[in-house]
Structure 1
């Protein structure tokens, strides 16, 4: 054990004061639930649990959760668990050696995975105090060592000795088995395709046909839900293949194969960015896709390697942005709405995923920004994108891929926030919101509202132009100002 109580060291700060009371799950615990790292029936140890809010919330979700804290729960059970939470603990430890021992002890207690979270460097302005060691000592004698998002991932990798993944800014997952890490990455890149409900052999065959059209290949028996495998048990593999080939839409099969091929390349390229493992560690569906769409694993890896190398080629990345069927291209970057990012060229999807793995993708964002001058990814949060004809920017989270430095700019308290125009340009052509956004843009152009583009990028400038042109907005309609 560690956290000082077990090492006999004396605390130099009032760590107990950093434990806050909350209702419901903390952000890291909620992220672990969303990412299926914590599921009903699993065991969880909250190491340094503070007042124990996460333990209570997880227990109510049928999770075998327990907690230990040197101050609030010193008699808590300190036993190995499937998942260990180490949330906002490392940043309050003023001794670097004890900080490292604490992380190592938490890793030793984890059977499957470790979830580590800390406060980040951009929160420095919220903390009032004097420099102390490698952090800040506040007037309440609480200590904070603030991590950079990519620094946290590197630190956890160094201590645990395994490759880690940034689940979100300030949240890192470390896995005991490489197969678990790869399965997590695969779910992020290729979300699970739901099987159609089946209660008889005919509907089960229809579901297999649907899966075949979406994947571009006939699924194997071991990929099917258990009940469906039972419904099809009377058919031989060759009979099932014949039924699918005779009934499936060949064009959909071809499109599914193209999509699966690109997704596999994306996964393998990202895995190289994060450190590639052996073929046997890949999730089953990835192994089957490699066998179906490539001549060998070696060929698939070579193509993926070339794809990753293309990220370094400015002209290639710029060409991909110009060729993209979605997004708004400016002299410095491509902007794409969240709903359209899967339609970007594969190298641009890889661009975004690399930044997300290195430093975390925020949970709340609306528009993706990819710079083609240098390599930097920004996730922009416009909370009212769907309802506001000119949504206001709430925050911008930026990852510089050259240095892996991150920054968060908040406009939440700004009196003159940046806003968007021509919303349809960020969406895919078949997005249901495009027609009304295009109509609004044409009305605004006709009214002369874009005559001074340098003025309309902020709330005040846009409102001044509306007044000048004697116009007002009613939802996504432009009307004369009364």
Structure 2
């Protein structure tokens, strides 16, 4: 194998298929076997091989446009273990807006490849700009693009080009950019400069409109009124303390935000709710405080009285829903923690229900994925009309096209913004439609239509599952959707019925779970159950969306749920809630709800008092790479997996056991990172599987003779000794049997007593220790030792290490002499034989692997040299 062939990341070797023939025979045969057993698509599409040298697991990777894209994106992957060539795990990234990307791709190619130098130049540019300074999160396209922009550059082809001045506005007046915050009455009212949570949810669901008036009933200090007025909305409010003189007026939208929970009298509380609903013409938003971990006050009435003589009534999510439904005799829709909508306008309610089962991001995804987004098609002659389109006309077409993708069909005139001047510029919407079909990609609209049809199927399926009485009159948009996608109402209901039946069939659910996992939407465990984050539920296959929606209708309180587990064969659904899910790399489970969809019942399991809160391991498995913070979590999970603390597919370890094992391996968790420990351990603490730290300090002949105190001062040295033991010595012992250390750590004090033929600045025996001036003794870092395997040919030991282990430097002295080997964080893999020249001085010569011996052991091409030197005596500096 060529010394500079392949990209090494921990135990993984990445190599392009054109380089496979240059690998050592063992690695080459492993890859050939994997390719022969792979699915046909894998064999034809994969252009990069990823090989884990410790587990022999092979991954076949397909990177798009490998030789033309400077940082190509991963499109497909197939991975398999060498113990079972039939079980290939497939993953597609075709639908991802943030796929993994490849850096330093020149390393995957042979040194003689004609494009390697050009690729090396791209890497040099990136290094010069500092783009590789933090490597843990650059492996995904979105993060990579942000890092390039943060350095003031953009990528143009294979060149990094400085960014021009930013001409975008730094101000964003949209309500979606504002943060949430509670609005309270009287002494509980806070002065805020942001819009409250219920008003933001009204905006999110499209109920804040310039042509709809909003009335804030119990507006407190009026912060929501001020913010909405500043954004051009028609808004008014009343409060019994701060604005009692204001007129109470009916409005399309009424907000009753955090009012009910501060009223201690139950009758007055009910009257306030009913009065607010009487004022409502379209939709009422109600918000209350939910139960927290502790109540700030003493029990009073049905709530708590605080030290400031204020009152708070706390609800659970389900209690809140039942209270509103009982008092108003209307259906309640919970849209957030402690926030519910109640509709007076039943057509608006229909649209809202339909939109709850609708994918929210379809337009953005279609336009982001397509290279033809809002641009004329190339290589197609333009008509006289399209060639004369002005920028203003093009903008109108863009609006209509986006609306079409949102609907899955071409819009009617009243489904567009009233201000769009279609007639003025084009004469009619029909003419706009004809022009659009000559400019934009029809396959985008076909994809949008498929998604919208699935959304509607789900809507009708849930109507049937809830046994909801059909509306007497369907709202206009729903009528148009039914006609466009199903023909008539009977066909729409029949499609919903079929979907509901499919969701009850285990084979259908299992196939959908497999499809979702292949697209990166969750993790499929050994029982074919899909674990998925709630953020991607609406992107799952529609059968799974129906399955999950049925479960969520049985147990409605999902405000704290982050993960959902679909049991594909038992008709069950598990909801899991974790504390600190967003910020912790190992969040703790606080609640698990197991729902039986067939029995329409559920069981709730709480953690924290009687039962220890389980840790969620490998959180990135359950997230999509577009999830905020995915790259950081993925890097943490990979670091944790590399420690091999437990079986990856198990439930993991209790928190205390994890802490103990991490301490043994010299790691601690800081934020979203695993970092090396800064604690100095006991010398008798295990250092790997076969040694104690003391063994590396008391093995040298001089140290034993003089009893010199040979103890490291820096925690980094203990970390390096642990790495040396686990990465090099433990595997050697597992393969060859016990070893004898002849020279290990060398302190400044010990080095003073070894008079000749040592090179502390180079030999890595000083590890990370520093000299009297505070500078590193050896700039190479890492740690080194000399050892011998009794009754073994040390040439064979050296050859085996060179073939299988990530060593930094290796020095071979002879078949029956101790071997010098080191390990560093970025091992360079340099091996030398020390040969005597004509003057008798030993000179290092490169050591290369040769063919295996008849016994199957690897051999080296080197020959043994003079063995007269004692084991701890190293070379003079020039020999290094």
Relative to the length of structure 1, the TM-score reads: 0.73
For residues 540 and 239 of structure 2, the distance between their equivalents in structure 1, rounded to whole angstroms, comes to: 47
Secondary structure of the 2:206 match is coil
Select 1:67's aligned residue among 237, 243, 247.
Answer: 237
1:290 matched to 2:486? no
Select 1:136's aligned residue among 287, 303, 314.
Answer: 303
For residues 497 and 455 of structure 2, the distance between their equivalents in structure 1, rounded to whole angstroms, comes to: 14
Q: Deviations over 1:199-237 (max 9, x none)?
A: 455665577667667765444444344536337734684
CA contact (8 A) 2:195 2:227 kept: yes
**Deviates further, 302-311 or 260-269:** 302-311
Map of 1:223 onto structure 2: 415
Map of 1:328 onto structure 2: 523
Give the C-alpha shift of residue 113 in structure 1.
1.7
Map of 1:32 onto structure 2: 202
Give the C-alpha shift of residue 264 in structure 1.
1.3
Q: Deviations over 1:89-132 (max 9, x none)?
A: 33344444443332211111122221112233x33732543364
| More helix as a share of residues | 1
* Structure 1 gaps, min length 5: 1-14
Q: How does 1:381-460 map to 2 (within 5 A)?
A: 384=582, 390-392=585-587, 402=600, 419-428=615-624, 444-451=640-647, 456=652, 460=656
CA gap of 1:452–1:351, structure 2 versus 1, over 3 A, is: closer
CA gap of 1:437–1:287, structure 2 versus 1, over 3 A, is: same
CA gap of 1:125–1:437, structure 2 versus 1, over 3 A, is: closer
For residues 474 and 136 of structure 1, the distance between their equivalents in structure 2, rounded to whole angstroms, comes to: 40
Map of 2:338 onto structure 1: 170
Relative to the length of structure 2, the TM-score reads: 0.43
Map of 2:318 onto structure 1: 150
For residues 250 and 403 of structure 1, the distance between their equivalents in structure 2, rounded to whole angstroms, comes to: 45
Give the C-alpha shift of residue 247 in structure 1.
6.2
Measured on the aligned residues, the alpha-carbon RMSD in Å equals 4.7
Count of equivalent residues: 454
* Structure 2 gaps, min length 5: 1-183, 368-373, 376-389, 678-718, 720-880
1:46 matched to 2:46? no
For residues 173 and 88 of structure 1, the distance between their equivalents in structure 2, rounded to whole angstroms, comes to: 14
CA contact (8 A) 1:214 1:252 kept: no
Secondary structure of the 2:360 match is coil
For residues 311 and 353 of structure 1, the distance between their equivalents in structure 2, rounded to whole angstroms, comes to: 10
For residues 459 and 425 of structure 2, the distance between their equivalents in structure 1, rounded to whole angstroms, comes to: 31
Which structure ranks higher in relative contact order (CA pairs < 8 Å, sequence separation ≥ 6)?
1
1:466 matched to 2:635? no
Map of 2:492 onto structure 1: 300
Map of 2:447 onto structure 1: 255
Secondary structure of the 1:156 match is helix
Give the C-alpha shift of residue 136 in structure 1.
3.1
CA gap of 1:146–1:305, structure 2 versus 1, over 3 A, is: farther
Map of 1:184 onto structure 2: 352
1:281 matched to 2:449? no
For residues 293 and 280 of structure 1, the distance between their equivalents in structure 2, rounded to whole angstroms, comes to: 19
For residues 223 and 608 of structure 2, the distance between their equivalents in structure 1, rounded to whole angstroms, comes to: 28
For residues 626 and 230 of structure 2, the distance between their equivalents in structure 1, rounded to whole angstroms, comes to: 42
CA contact (8 A) 1:270 1:353 kept: yes
Q: Whose Rg is larger?
A: 2
Give the C-alpha shift of residue 21 in structure 1.
2.0
For residues 26 and 397 of structure 1, the distance between their equivalents in structure 2, rounded to whole angstroms, comes to: 30
Q: How does 1:54-93 map to 2 (within 5 A)?
A: 54-93=224-263
For residues 26 and 405 of structure 1, the distance between their equivalents in structure 2, rounded to whole angstroms, comes to: 34
Secondary structure of the 2:330 match is coil
CA contact (8 A) 2:214 2:235 kept: yes
